[in-house]
């Protein structure tokens, strides 16, 4: 049974400079016919074309034993969307990004595999378990991490150093088919969970966007409401001031009405005062001249009273002379 070749893309990452360990891994990866596409003191990118086994993954697992600070992520691709590599072959940009994200999300001394790669590299000497990881940018995904029991497994002896892992073609067909079925079921479950997580994340992002838009709308409405309330307060103060002036004018008019009632016997005087009262009502509508106009009317009323007294005096004097 021949295995279908595929492309493995790996990314090695270290928070602290680790040139020696990265160089050592790159040297051993070249012995596995892998291509080093980029390398510095903190990270390296490795691509193996036409892979049919998990040798490169097993090599990485052996490298991180013993408390290594390296973080390694592996992905694979069979897609046509790719960018040219150093050797003229094409390297999947999606697999490069996925491997880089897995390496950045791994812990020190940990190897992470994409679910697709875990389904392809069925290595009988390695055991993986599914785990949810948090990728850069707040994203979530499901990856396969090397099991702790397998990490301490001694099935890889020194004599196996030249050929870590066995090819799919070397295993029995029945065992491979059963393992493939089991791993396919696990992969499908992981992919379904990842799809659910992505859908949930998209839903949450949409809900957050809607809530943000609603919050901005409410903030704008609250600003407009506060401005309207401020305008109402200003108008209320002006209305209170006008009401106070109107009350003062009403009191003055009441006092004048009392004075007019006292002069009810003199029709001519009442008519004259009524005319002046009409003038006073017109003048009272102008707030800034109301008090002065009322003062002038009061003075005029006092003069009228004096004239009435003088008139009465003259009438009394006339009656006295007529009696004589």
Give 155's pLDDT tier (boundaries 50, 70, 90).
Answer: very low
Same domain for 133 and 267: no
Domain termination site, one of 170, 192, 214: 170
Q: Which residues contact 115 (CB under 8 A, 6 or more apart)?
A: 130, 142, 143, 144, 187, 190, 191, 194
| Rounded-to-integer distance, Cα 322 and Cα 51, Å | 150
Cβ atoms 24, 68 nearer than 8 A: no
What's residue 117's pLDDT? 79
Please name every residue paired with 6 in a beta bridge, in sequence order, or none if there are none. Answer: 51
What's residue 152's pLDDT? 43
In a domain, 188, yes or no: no
In a domain, 243, yes or no: yes
Which range among 5-19, 113-127, 228-242 shows the weakest confidence by mean pLDDT? 113-127
Provide the residue count of the chain: 324
| Rounded-to-integer distance, Cα 290 and Cα 244, Å | 13
Domain termination site, one of 118, 143, 170: 170
Cβ atoms 297, 256 nearer than 8 A: yes
| Rounded-to-integer distance, Cα 180 and Cα 99, Å | 23
**Phi, then psi, of 193 in degrees rounded to 5:** -65, -40
Composition of the chain by helix, strand, coil, percent to 5: 60, 15, 25
What's residue 2's pLDDT? 53
In a domain, 206, yes or no: no
Same domain for 11 and 146: yes
**235 to 105, 276, 286, 287: CA distances (angstroms):** 62, 33, 19, 17
Same domain for 275 and 128: no
pLDDT in tens, 229-258: 888 888 888 888 888 888 888 888 888 777
Please name every residue paired with 144 in a beta bridge, in sequence order, or none if there are none. Answer: 113, 130
The pTM of this model reads 0.45
What's residue 249's pLDDT? 87
> 92 is in which domain, residue-wise?
6-170
């Amino acid at each position: 049974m021949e295995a279908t070749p595929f492309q493995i893309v790996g990314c090695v990452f270290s928070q602290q400079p680790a040139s020696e360990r990265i160089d050592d891994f790159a040297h051993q990866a070249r012995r596995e016919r892998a291509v080093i596409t980029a390398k510095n003191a903190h990270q390296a990118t490795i691509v193996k074309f036409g892979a049919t086994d998990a040798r490169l993954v097993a090599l990485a697992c052996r490298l991180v034993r013993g408390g290594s600070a390296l973080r390694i992520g592996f992905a694979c691709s069979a897609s046509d969307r790719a960018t040219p590599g150093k050797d003229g072959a094409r390297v999947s940009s999606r697999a490069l990004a996925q491997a880089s994200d897995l390496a950045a999300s791994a812990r020190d001394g940990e190897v992470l595999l994409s679910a697709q790669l875990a389904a392809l590299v069925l290595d009988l000497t390695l055991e993986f378990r599914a785990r949810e990881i948090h990728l850069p940018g707040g994203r979530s995904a499901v990856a396969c991490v090397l099991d702790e029991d397998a990490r301490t497994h001694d099935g890889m002896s020194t004599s196996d150093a030249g050929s870590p892992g066995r090819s799919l073609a070397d295993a029995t067909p029945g065992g491979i088919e059963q393992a493939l079925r089991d791993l396919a079921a696990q992969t499908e479950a992981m992919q379904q969970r990842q799809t659910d997580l992505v859908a949930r994340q998209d839903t949450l992002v949409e809900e957050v966007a809607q809530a943000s838009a609603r919050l901005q709308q409410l903030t704008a409405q609250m600003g407009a409401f506060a401005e309207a309330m401020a305008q109402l307060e200003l108008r209320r103060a002006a209305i209170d001031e006008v009401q106070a002036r109107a009350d003062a004018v009403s009191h003055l008019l009441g006092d004048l009405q009392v004075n007019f009632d006292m002069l009810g016997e003199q029709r001519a005087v009442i008519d004259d005062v009524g005319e002046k009262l009409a003038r006073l009502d017109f003048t009272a509508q102008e707030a800034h001249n109301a008090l002065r106009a009322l003062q002038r009317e009061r003075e005029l009323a006092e003069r009228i009273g004096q004239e009435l007294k003088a008139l009465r005096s003259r009438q009394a004097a006339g009656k006295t002379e007529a009696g004589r």
